[in-house]
Amino acid sequence: MKIMINGLPGNVAIMLTRHILADERFELVPYSLTGPEITAAEHSVEGVTVALVRPEDREGRLAEIKSAHADFISVDFTHPSAVNENAAFYCTHGLPFVMGTTGGDRQALVRTVENSDNLAVIAPNMAKQIVGFQAMLEFAAENFPALFSGYTMRVRESHQQGKADTSGTAKAVVKSFNDLGVDFTADQIEMERDPESQEKQWGIPPAYLGGHGWHTYTLLSEDETVRFEFTHNINGREVYACGTLDALVFLGGQIKEGVTGKVYSMIDVLKG
């Protein structure tokens, strides 16, 4: 499978590129769509040079990329501000993609794919275990609605300083608790992006201040006699790579079956 990793020289994109290079199932397409702030023409990963393609150049260079590397899948770990524009580009040019980038207009993102002949795996979190946790909450919400009615909730999430938006995973978990009867909105999620506070107050190991995802969801009964707390702490980014590779294999199978106009989630990947 030929894979193009978009978002270099971002940390997640670099990590995924290393995994693609080390996995014999995949072949790296040595190009990467990058942001307008990037001035470098190329970036090297494990001794492999990858050409960086800025937004204003990608239309012109796509023919070159397709000519040298036909039938590839794109992986998008770019920036929240680029989500919808990138999806439109992929769909206009028939480029199947796996998108782990959060942010943007998510409903428009899905519509863009469904109104095209393209297909994609789109998920705010590629960590399979976190996705499984979300699936359990969704099951509870479907089968036991209003289970936590009357409970108050506090949500705290900490990510590396460079993460621009509120965690998409936290938003999805909040939605499940809404369906379980909790009155809470996504704008009440408490974000932490300050490394000093993360180390001293949260206890996040210094080695992972530049890459982590710590979440805690606390629920308290109306009379404050019952308390539930759900925590998932991820240090580093390796767990996201494993899920992304699974998503690529899954999407490759759907491509072979001729599926079009379809958006899959990581739940679909796990079931597949």
Burial of 142 (0-12, 13-18, 19+ CB in 10 A): exposed
Calculated CA dihedral for residues 188, 190, 193, 194, nearest 10 degrees: 130
Q: Is 163 a catalytic residue?
A: yes
What is the C-alpha to C-alpha distance for residues 214 and 156, in angstroms, rounded to an integer?
8
Q: Is 202 helix (H, G, I), strand (E, B) or coil?
A: helix
Name the catalytic one among 159, 171, 212, 215: 159
Of residues 193, 117, 188, the one with CA closest to residue 155: 188
Q: How far apart are CA 184 and CA 187, in angstroms?
A: 9
Q: Which of 69, 79, 93, 163 is catalytic?
A: 163
> Any idea what DSSP says for residue 267?
H
Q: Is the dihedral of CA 15, 83, 164, 177 positive or negative?
A: negative
Cα 152 off chain centre by? 28
Give me the numbers of helices (H) and strands (E) for the chain, helices first please: 9, 13
Task: List the catalytic residues.
Answer: 159, 163
